[in-house]
Amino acid sequence: MKESKPLRSSSLRRSVLSVPAINLRALEKSRSLDCDAVIFDLEDSVAPEKKEEARENLRRFFAGPPLEGKERIIRINSLSSEFGPADLDLVKEVSPDAVLLPKVDEPQDVTDVGDLLTEADAQEEVRIWAMIETPRGVLNVGAIAEFGHTPGSRLDCLVVGLNDLRKETGVLPQPGRTYLVPWLMQVILAVKAYGLDALDSVFNDFRDGEGFEAECGQGRAMGFAGKMLIHPTQIAAANRHFGPSAEEIAEAQAIISAFADPAARGLNVINANGRMIERLHLVQAEALVHKARLISARKPA
């Protein structure tokens, strides 16, 4: 029997809030929010004439107190644009946890940025996240994710961008995302095959709490690690949906205890309360309990 691979242990990414780098108030507020990560956006949310001001805002922000317990990601403009090279220079200067690349179509888009970071002696801790938001990106998502599995690759996470994908395909923004589900699951298969994370797309109407809750539940059921957010009011629901429930934690702990029993030593399948449990379930249970501990450690004392 082929031994199952341990599941990848990653940072918490239940709630990933996008903050316009031009908005000083939002930048400062991000320090106190209970999201797992913050994307400081230099791309879509910043007008062309405000790009330099936004970069200067981030330069000052990163010189200030660190964000406690949160990943820091800077979304840059495409390197093929007039703004991208200056954005990447800022990334090299301030060393966020990751740089988010827009509209990634193929592995070369990631390779080019990785090479530039390496040539600049950027810290190895600066990871690369990739937006999958074009038809070509979806078609090539397997190859893009596979590149993240190669030695030395900085690729760490894929982020689905449905607004651009809808625009380019004509798929309507309907509840349930019926015609988008196959593409979403294609992204999930790719990241699970190569040990990366994937984040679900933004939900545009932050006033529609019921619709957001439903989409979070759908994203969790699909296997996404979390969701990209556009407003602080969405954080609590994302944390709840993409974090393990008390029932899930209790079940995972029971599976771990069952395999810790000396009678289970050397067995790949055991009977626990009338249910057949394999060692792959043990790996999943250990990953879930580890995630619960990370969440508990993030909570204020």
* Residue set of the binding site for Mg(2+): 133, 164
Contact 71, 129 (CB under 8 A): no
Give one DSSP letter per residue of 139-185, joined into a string: HTHHHHHHHTTSTT--EEEEEE-HHHHHHHH-----TT-TTTHHHHH
- Residue 70: DSSP 8-state: -
Say how far apart CA 136 and CA 147 lie, in whole Å. Answer: 16
- In Å, what is the CA distance from 175 to each residue of 137, 236, 242, 265? 23, 21, 20, 48
Check residue 49 and report its DSSP letter: G
Tokens at residue 14, please?
């239940």
Q: Do the Cβ atoms of 39 and 71 come closer than 8 Å?
A: no
Please give the Cα distance from 155 to 73 (Å, whole number). Answer: 13
Which positions make up the binding site for substrate? Answer: 75, 133
Q: Which residue has the tokens 């449905």?
A: 162
Nearest Cα neighbor of 94 from 111, 117, 69 is: 117
Feature table: binding site: 75, 133, 164
Instruction: Specify whether the CB–CB gap between 94 and 59 falls below 8 A.
Output: yes
Burial of 162 (0-12, 13-18, 19+ CB in 10 A): buried
> What's the burial of 18, exposed, middle or buried (CB within 10 Å: 0-12/13-18/19+)?
buried
Extract the tokens encoding 94: 């301030």
